[in-house]
Structure 1
Amino acid sequence: MSEKSTTGQHIACVLQWVLNAGLVILAIILVVFLGKETIHLANVLLNTGEQASSYLLVEGIVIYFLYFEFIALIVKYFQSGYHFPLRYFVYIGITAIIRLIIVDHKNPFDTLCYSAAILLLVVTLWLANSNRLKRE
């Protein structure tokens, strides 16, 4: 019985190591993309003569926050004892839907549905952070 337990613990350690290594590699890739997005935002800011530059600037800022939130999620994973807090996924979802509204806002019904999804995520975030759930 203890041999199975030792084998199971070994497999869990190997899987945890693979997950940690994969997350570190993903964080490095995201930092590279964040750097590229910083250069893109600087180019958009320097090209002030175009009408579409304001949309590009806002879209670039939201993408920048998405990269930053994913990097923060990975950092929080290591700081919180190897688990992902739910609220960070909700933050990322809200930011992603906001980006979608900025990029694709031609259909009013779609925009209304996206706004309802944001409302649902905000209610979820409120419920996850409320003291009522923490007392139980």
Structure 2
Amino acid sequence: MTRYAIDAAVALRLIRDPLEPSAGRQLVAPSVLRSHVLSRLYTEVRAGRLDERTARAELEGLAELKIRLLGDRVSRSTAFKLATQLDWPDVTPAEYLAVAVLQADALVTDDPVLRDAATGRIPIAEFDDLAR
């Protein structure tokens, strides 16, 4: 089974562009993923880019997304270490990188900061690779 770590943007894309991960693929992310998706949806509603009904439906879509969320002691410690090594002012993106390094075969993200940080640590996969 191939494990793909995803970030909040990819989770939203999976909800909006239903792409069923093919058999033999598992999605993993840090436990903060739900909060980050909720925050993105709320921001879009406040900015007028998304109506509340759609945002709530997408939030339900998140609950239906088959993804293993991780927030154990080792993941948190690794995130802290990575944020320190990368001299990041915030540990949040390191949580995604930590889960990818510890629990995944590849990271799926369009975030250039995460992509750069993943270089040499874990392979990067593309969104479409989730269905192949």
TM-score normalised by structure 2 residue count: 0.24
Bigger share in helix: 1
- Structure having greater relative contact order (Cα 8 Å, sep ≥ 6): 2
Bigger share in strand: 2
Q: Which has the larger radius of gyration?
A: 1
